[in-house]
Chains A and B, each alone.
Chain A
């Protein structure tokens, strides 16, 4: 019989933050879905202006980065700090691709004159994606700090709560996008 751990990985404080994020994004996701009902045609037509390929690539990018962080945690549990730092560096590199693609997407929309007051669809699109984008930026800052500490041997098999804390936040960023992508880019 497998004995379940008493608490989730990382500092419990991060889980309180994660639960708060759940509530915030739930309100935005459900708000989007019900706002759409007021003008389905406008939502569907506006959605066609989004770059689905960029959304798809960014989903793969976040899943990949998240997976690399899993590898980093696994490596530190095996007391291999060097390998763990390598995986974190890869995770940040891939995560940075998300930032680049998203900035290109935002610039494209702003060049077309699209902003928060264009229509309800774009208000939600910009609110959701900019808010999520800020989470990605914060996540990368956290990963960078963890990477630096890992590089100087700050984590080990016995003490890696800090790494797990950052990893949990990064997986949250991935989880939120997993819902956001089909909802905003695909579902009609």
Chain B
């Protein structure tokens, strides 16, 4: 339940920042970080990779870091 509520609250944060028209590099950074947190929670607790050997857990986490890093680069460059 805690994981679910955290995911909902982080999504609410993303929505409100768009709804109130917040823009800028700090907002983008916060959105990228909260997206990473949400993704990691899904990978660990929904997909159940928290209890699996690290080599399998690291693939989706590395994917998240890779994608969000390059999105960040594209927005900041």
Complex interface bits, A1-22 against B, C-beta within 8 A gives 1, otherwise 0 = 0101111110000010011001
Taking a contact as CB atoms under 8 Å apart, the answer to whether B67 and A5 are in contact is no
Residues of chain B having any CB pair with chain A under 8 Å: 3-4, 7-8, 11-12, 14-15, 17-19, 23, 28, 31, 34-35, 38-39, 42-43, 45-49, 51-54, 56, 59-60, 63-64, 66-68, 70-71, 73-75, 77
Q: Which of A60-68, A109-117, A128-136, A153-161 contacts B (4 or more CB under 8 A)?
A: A60-68
Complex interface bits, A50-70 against B, C-beta within 8 A gives 1, otherwise 0 = 001101100110011011011
Taking a contact as CB atoms under 8 Å apart, the answer to whether B47 and A8 are in contact is yes
A59 and B64 alpha carbons, distance in the complex (Å)? 17
How many chain A residues touch B (Cβ–Cβ < 8 Å)?
Answer: 47
**Secondary structure class of chain B's binding surface, majority of residues:** helix
A72 and B37 alpha carbons, distance in the complex (Å)? 24
Tell me the minimal C-beta distance from B45 to chain A in angstroms.
7
Which residues of B sit under 8 angstroms from A178, Cβ to Cβ?
A: 35, 38-39, 42
